[in-house]
């Protein structure tokens, strides 16, 4: 019978450990056994840390049986990644080092490319961003110095770009952007416009969902599953973050001219009625509300800013937002309320200049 690693992980995720372990025995390949066991550990460690450690010990046992150096290095990196995510950082870093040493034993530099890229991938998805990007750079150097033709080199580099992009897909927005930008840079240089455009969209989405951009939420939104994404946000975060997250989703929908974003804004504003927006998020929330043309709410929040100059600058930004969306009268009204004289005059002058009167 054909046993899929995903099925084994799915069983484990649903608490059916015995069945999952039984299926691991049906796998012929030791690398597959490692990937299945570490996959199990990754989904069950929050429920049952003992069983998770048991799975990882078994995974290490099978990794020792792997003869192929590339496969062995992948197995070790995969196990290391799960240990790292579980908080066993020292041990994980030791295993990552072992994985790199294993890959470096491979004689031909060309055959070292993917084993090292795999290790960089596992470091990346664990959140070891700098280690991962450094290792990817080392792999680039290998490719650049290969004595093969241009076409072959380009193929390797495009493939590496895709691996780097896939690391981004597994990480929250802030870390994801670093990998996406590196991949985008590569695709631009290699003149692969379709891939560059895809990654550019991913960067834009990660930037827009700065607060709630978990991989699962970004994936749902990129597939247009907005209702599912908002449910995930409401299930995952506290009220203030839910409020900000809903605004971020609405803004993405507005940018992409998707119908229904105003309903999400309405839901978000219901949260706002019950909330005291914290100082740390205040300016960002005002910016989101302004971009979503919720000027009344933005203005109300700007009035809570104690620093007069900062409040004036924010009010000037709201004024420009109102002008952009065609609320000319309102824009002048707000501009006249700006407390700082210098900023008020500059804003009114700017408004007149834009409207040419």
For residues 269 and 3, give the distance between their C-alpha atoms in angstroms, rounded to a whole number: 48
- pTM for the whole structure: 0.90
Q: Is residue 19 part of a domain?
A: no
Q: What is the largest CA-CA distance in the chain?
A: 80
Give mean pLDDT, residues 268-286.
92
Q: Is residue 239 part of a domain?
A: yes
What does the DSSP assignment read for 266-287?
HHHHHHHHH----HHHHHHHHH
Find out whether 200 and 184 touch, Cβ atoms under 8 Å.
yes
Asked whether the CA dihedral 9, 12, 16, 21 is positive or negative, the reply is: positive
Element (H, E) at 184: helix 173-189
* Residue at which a domain ends, from 230, 257, 275: 275
Is 260 exposed, middle or buried (CB count within 10 Å of its CB: 0-12, 13-18, 19+)?
A: exposed
For residues 335 and 327, give the distance between their C-alpha atoms in angstroms, rounded to a whole number: 12
Residues 335, 286 within the same domain: yes
Confidence at residue 294, expressed as pLDDT on a 0 to 100 scale:
96
Question: Would the pLDDT of 66 be above 90?
Answer: yes
Confidence at residue 357, expressed as pLDDT on a 0 to 100 scale:
64
Q: Is residue 85 part of a domain?
A: no
- The structure tokens 């033709």 sit at 149
- Three-state secondary structure call for residue 214: coil
Find out whether 82 and 41 touch, Cβ atoms under 8 Å.
yes
Total domains in the fold of the chain = 3
Average pLDDT of the residues of the chain = 95
Residues 345, 297 within the same domain: yes
CATH of the domain at 201: 1.25.40.10
> 59-96 burial, b for 16+ CB within 10 Å, e for fewer?
bbebbeebeebbbbbbbbbbbbbbbbbbebeeebbebb
Residues 166, 223 within the same domain: no
Band (pLDDT 50/70/90 cuts) for residue 208 is very high
Residues 149, 235 within the same domain: no
Is 165 exposed, middle or buried (CB count within 10 Å of its CB: 0-12, 13-18, 19+)?
A: buried
Find out whether 244 and 260 touch, Cβ atoms under 8 Å.
no
Look up residue 86 and give its DSSP letter: T
Q: Six-digit token pair at 172? A: 């929250």
Q: Is residue 96 part of a domain?
A: no
Q: Is residue 46 part of a domain?
A: no
Read off the pLDDT of residues 175-207 as tens digits, 9 standing for 90 and up. 999 999 999 999 999 999 999 999 999 999 999
What does the DSSP assignment read for 325-342?
TT-HHHHHHHHHH-SSHH
Confidence at residue 2, expressed as pLDDT on a 0 to 100 scale:
78
Look up residue 28 and give its DSSP letter: -
Q: Is residue 157 part of a domain?
A: yes
For residues 87 and 290, give the distance between their C-alpha atoms in angstroms, rounded to a whole number: 40
Q: Is residue 302 part of a domain?
A: yes
The crossing angle, in degrees rounded to 10, of helices 239-255 and 279-291 is 30
Q: The domain containing residue 295 runs over which residues?
A: 278-357
Give mean pLDDT, residues 302-323.
96
Residues 312, 270 within the same domain: no
Residues 155, 227 within the same domain: no
Confidence at residue 241, expressed as pLDDT on a 0 to 100 scale:
96
For residues 156 and 176, give the distance between their C-alpha atoms in angstroms, rounded to a whole number: 22
- Three-state secondary structure call for residue 39: helix
For residues 30 and 5, give the distance between their C-alpha atoms in angstroms, rounded to a whole number: 12
For residues 216 and 214, give the distance between their C-alpha atoms in angstroms, rounded to a whole number: 6
CATH of the domain at 283: 1.25.40
Band (pLDDT 50/70/90 cuts) for residue 20 is very high
Band (pLDDT 50/70/90 cuts) for residue 40 is very high
For residues 85 and 81, give the distance between their C-alpha atoms in angstroms, rounded to a whole number: 6
Residues 235, 317 within the same domain: no
């Amino acid at each position: 019978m054909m046993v899929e690693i995903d099925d084994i992980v799915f069983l484990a995720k649903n608490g059916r450990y015995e069945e999952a372990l039984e299926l691991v025995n049906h796998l012929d390949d030791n690398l597959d056994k490692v990937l299945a066991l570490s996959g199990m550990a990754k989904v069950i460690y929050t429920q049952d840390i003992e069983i998770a450690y048991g799975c990882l010990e078994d995974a290490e046992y099978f990794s020792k049986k792997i003869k192929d150096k590339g496969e062995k290095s992948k197995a070790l990196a995969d196990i290391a990644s799960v240990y790292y995510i579980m908080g066993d950082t020292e041990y994980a870093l030791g295993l990552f080092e072992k994985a790199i040493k294993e890959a470096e034993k491979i004689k031909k530099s060309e055959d070292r490319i993917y084993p090292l890229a795999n290790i960089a991938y596992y470091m990346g998805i664990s959140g070891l961003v700098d280690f991962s990007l450094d290792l990817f750079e080392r792999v680039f150097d290998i490719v650049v110095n290969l004595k093969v033709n241009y076409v072959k080199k380009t193929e390797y580099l495009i493939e590496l770009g895709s691996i780097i992009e896939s690391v981004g897909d597994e990480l929250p927005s802030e870390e994801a952007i670093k990998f996406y930008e590196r991949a985008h840079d590569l695709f631009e240089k290699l003149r692969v416009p379709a891939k560059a455009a895809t990654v550019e969209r991913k960067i834009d989405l990660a930037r827009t969902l700065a607060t709630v951009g978990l991989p699962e939420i970004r994936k749902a939104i990129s597939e247009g599953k907005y209702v599912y994404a908002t449910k995930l946000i409401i299930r995952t975060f506290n009220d203030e973050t839910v409020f900000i997250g809903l605004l971020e989703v609405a803004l993405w929908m507005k940018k992409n001219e998707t119908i229904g974003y105003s309903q999400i804004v309405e839901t978000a504003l219901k949260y706002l009625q019950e909330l005291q927006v914290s100082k740390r998020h205040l300016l960002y929330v005002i910016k989101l509300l302004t971009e979503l043309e919720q000027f009344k709410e933005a203005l109300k929040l700007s009035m809570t800013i104690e620093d007069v100059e900062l409040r004036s600058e924010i009010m000037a930004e709201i004024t420009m937002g109102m002008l952009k969306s065609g609320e000319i009268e309102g824009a002048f009204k707000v501009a006249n309320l700006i407390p700082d004289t210098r900023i008020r005059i500059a804003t009114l002058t700017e408004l007149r200049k834009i409207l040419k009167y």
